[in-house]
Amino acid sequence: MDNYVMFPPHPDLAQEVQRMQGTLSRLEKFLAAQDEKIHKAEEYGFIHERLPNQPMVSKDEAAAILCVSPRHLQRIRKRLVLKWKKVGRETHYFLKELVEAIEKFQCPWNPVAYEKAMKRVTRLPRY
């Protein structure tokens, strides 16, 4: 320690450290409050499942994209390996699976119907 010159801490530096510690403590309190809020919401069942990230189209839109009737689409969905989901009485198809089936099986498709479905799907809010 003989070789080191000891400087007193700069007063501005000490104030800056205290200010940053205050900011960190406020941030920790905020994050703890947010975690508590989310925990209570989950406990009471106020948090719902998020919407799927994969866009879905109705059976009529899917049939228009593939240039078939909705009834024929129902017949060929197993052969084309299409994922579908029943929502109430409606049948919805995953758009990604339709595109993959078109590429894999070289199915005829309608680009106008595809663009129309894409416009509708991209307008939907994603949570």
Domain shared by 60 and 111, yes or no = yes
Would residue 60 count as lying in a domain?
Answer: yes
Would residue 4 count as lying in a domain?
Answer: no
> Looking up tokens 């990230």, which residue turns up?
53
Would residue 104 count as lying in a domain?
Answer: yes
pLDDT confidence of residue 46: 67
Q: What is the pLDDT of residues 43-102, one digit of tens each?
A: 777 665 554 567 889 999 999 999 999 999 999 988 988 999 998 999 999 998 999 999
Would residue 3 count as lying in a domain?
Answer: no
Average pLDDT over the chain reads: 83
Would residue 1 count as lying in a domain?
Answer: no
Share of the chain above pLDDT 90, in %: 34
Higher pLDDT residue, 51 or 24? 24
Domain shared by 62 and 40, yes or no = no
Domain range for 70 is 56-123
Token output for 112: 């106008």
CA atoms within 13 Å, Cβ hemisphere of 90: 10
